[in-house]
Amino acid sequence: MRRLHWLCAIFLLLGCVKVLSVRDIPDIALGQASFYPTIEAHTDAPIVGGNRIDILLNGDGTFPIMLREIRSAKSTITFSQYLVEDGSITHELAEAFAERCRKGVIVDILLDSHGSAKAPADIIKTMKDAGCRVEHFRRVKAEGIIFPWKLLKYNYRSHRRILVIDGRVGFTGGYGISEAWTGNGRTPKHWRDTNARIEGPAVQSLQAAFAEDWLEATGAAIGGDAYFPRLEARGDVPAQIVKSSPTNGSFQCYMLFLLTISSAKKSIVITNPYFMPDDVMTEALVKTTARGVRVVILLPGKIDSEITRTSSRSHYGPLLRGGIEIYEYQAGLLHAKTMSIDGQWATIGSTNFDNRSFALNQELNLTIYDRALAARLEDIFREDLKHAKQISYDEWKSRNLYERLVEWFAFPVKDQL
């Protein structure tokens, strides 16, 4: 058994992919006319107007609204989730899905087979017995033992968070389904997260992302009015759904982050739990700061993986020397993945600032072109800073021997974390 574990680890390392090396970045500024088609071209995602977007904070601000929409579904529900674990919210959601199935609503549920490996068997049974279609994304099959190279595909996970009701109302963000995601984000062992509720034409792109993964997992193509109804304007917010699928050779979320960071004129505020930028992204951040742009990054003080946090902290040096401000959140576990630039552009989604998200996982981010919502995210960021500690370069440089040793031992596998 130990040999099998080592064999799996070796194959996963061999299967590690990195993003394409970007040598030249166009000289564009956020707000210029050419900025928008440039972003659309490199993300393969249209910017569509007429949306209403509500920012939802933590479990207290997210799960009650999700449950309300699920219970009101009339035709279809699609749900894609990376992480499902036991807990009262897990059972409540499962019962809500099952109740809709019994009422004749088509419910398609796609769980990542790695992230949701701890999903309780009884909730899966509850949903299936009610008629819900529950599938797993890239489950390890017996043939992987016979042909170990087939395990390489298992390393490419679906990290997307998608919930779409009747093809009209969508949710995305960074939320997981477990007790750790309940609460207000200010207590130990609970996650501080940011999510979004969407109405309007952008929901079609969110549904398309689900359809992509569902087709791979099941061989079934969803479609028709129940999944893709005609969507009228529900607000005045331009938005886009940016999805990346590295196994198909696309790194759209990486390009979204890189191009917008390089286009900033005044300010960038980033919240992210797993922060290990590559050299190109680090250089882009430092160059942006050198142009007079204020860059502030909020990262976790505590997290679910100490080796990941330590590996992340090893990247602080050049950023701090370059004038970037770094804070670590202290009130709870930080999981929000947001960025706001110049008070007019913002993104909320599942993408971490690391190679696993940029080059290995299926990811999805909602991008918003709206001053009011960008300002709202910046207000949330400032409130989070009240519960954070700023890290200086001298403090980072004086980290202890244990932390340095962990950094050294984690280096060979940091792109997999």
Highest mean pLDDT among 10-19, 141-150, 230-239, 249-258: 230-239
What is the pLDDT at residue 14?
A: 44
Q: Is residue 4 part of a domain?
A: no
Rounded-to-integer distance, Cα 311 and Cα 307, Å: 6
Do the beta carbons of residue 342 and residue 312 sit within 8 Å?
Answer: no
**Residue type at position 24:** D
Instruction: Please state the φ and ψ torsions of residue 183, each to the nearest 5 degrees.
Output: 100, -165
Q: What is the pLDDT of residues 82-100, one digit of tens each?
A: 999 999 999 999 999 999 9
Token digits for 53? 């977007």
Q: How far apart are the first and last CA of the chain?
A: 23
Q: What is the pLDDT of residues 99-123, one digit of tens each?
A: 999 999 999 999 999 999 999 999 9
Identify the H or E element spanning 126.
helix 121-129
Q: Which of 266-275, 277-286, 299-308, 405-414 has the lowest mean pLDDT?
A: 405-414
Q: At 16, is the pLDDT very low, low, confident or very high (cuts 50, 70, 90)? A: low
| Residue ranges making up the domain that contains 173 | 19-416
Q: Is residue 128 part of a domain?
A: yes
Between 258 and 400, the higher pLDDT residue: 258
What is the pLDDT at residue 44?
A: 94
Rounded-to-integer distance, Cα 197 and Cα 183, Å: 18
Q: What's the distance, CA 100 to chain centroid?
A: 27
Q: Is residue 1 part of a domain?
A: no
Q: Is residue 50 part of a domain?
A: yes
Indicate if the pLDDT at residue 389 is higher than 80.
yes
**Residue type at position 350:** S
Rounded-to-integer distance, Cα 256 and Cα 242, Å: 8
Q: At 160, is the pLDDT very low, low, confident or very high (cuts 50, 70, 90)? A: very high
Threshold 0.85, pTM exceeds: yes
Neighbours of 41 (CB within 10 A): 11
What is the pLDDT at residue 122?
A: 96
Indicate if the pLDDT at residue 215 is higher than 60.
yes
Q: Is residue 371 part of a domain?
A: yes
Q: Is residue 10 part of a domain?
A: no
Q: Is residue 11 part of a domain?
A: no
CATH number at residue 245: 3.30.870.10
Mean of the pLDDT values across residues 347-374? 95
Q: Is residue 5 part of a domain?
A: no
Indicate if the pLDDT at residue 13 is higher than 60.
no
Mean of the pLDDT values across residues 136-146? 68
Q: Which of 15-29, 48-62, 179-193, 393-407 has the lowest mean pLDDT?
A: 393-407
Provide the domain count of the chain. 1
Q: What is the DSSP string of 303-350?
A: -S-HHHHHHHHTTHHHHHHTT-EEEEE-SSEE---EEEETTTEEEEES
All residues at 6 or more sequence positions from 301 whose CB lies less than 8 Å from its CB, including other chains:
328, 329, 330, 334, 388, 389
Neighbours of 386 (CB within 10 A): 8
Q: At 159, is the pLDDT very low, low, confident or very high (cuts 50, 70, 90)? A: very high
Q: At 174, is the pLDDT very low, low, confident or very high (cuts 50, 70, 90)? A: very high
What is the pLDDT at residue 110?
A: 98
Instruction: Name residue, tokens 């910017």.
Output: 47
Q: Which of 128-137, 313-322, 386-395 has the lowest mean pLDDT?
A: 313-322
